[in-house]
Amino acid sequence: MNSEGPISRPDLYVLARVIKVLKEKNRLNRTNLATYTGLSYDRLMKYLMWMSDKGFVQLDSNGDVSLTKRGAETYENLVKWILEYVGKVRFPES
């Protein structure tokens, strides 16, 4: 991924980490969110911009970030989707 430009195809792992932290903490300022997710501030900001464009998070003027209903639902849908697909795979006996 190009670290200079905007995000074209985001890393699902990073998105999921941001959403999971926001679900647990409800509302966080950007610096704390960067600490909790283990991302650099710049990288987090790119993801937050992308997520905000998609309507997954809300950024307020105080620098706080919160998860929107759409963001929470998307995350749940993703979990369900993976569960549905991984759940269909039958495994050999160990």
Partner 1 sequence: MGKHQRVWCCCLTEEKLGKKMEEFMTALDQVKKYRQLINSLADFALIIVASVIAVLSVNIIVNLLPVLFGYDPIQLNPINFLLSLVLLLSGLSAGVLWVDRKIASVRTGEWKSSLNEGTPGVLKLLQELKWETIFNDIRLAKLGFVLYGFLRILAYWTLIFIPLAILSAFLQSIIHTSISLIVVLMIALILVLILNRNDLIKRHEQIGNLDSLLWELRWFDSEFRRADFKA
Residues that bind partner 1 in the complex, under the rule CB under 8 A:
9-13, 15-17, 20, 54-56, 70-71, 73-83, 85-94
Cα torsion angle, 70, 78, 80, 75, sign:
negative
Shortest approach of partner 1 to residue 73 CB, angstroms?
7
Nearer to partner 1, 65 or 75 (CB): 75
Shortest approach of partner 1 to residue 46 CB, angstroms?
14
Query: What's the CA gap between 69 and 90, in Å, rounded?
Result: 34
Whole-Å CA distances, 51 to 4, 13, 21, 66: 17, 14, 14, 11
Shortest approach of partner 1 to residue 20 CB, angstroms?
6
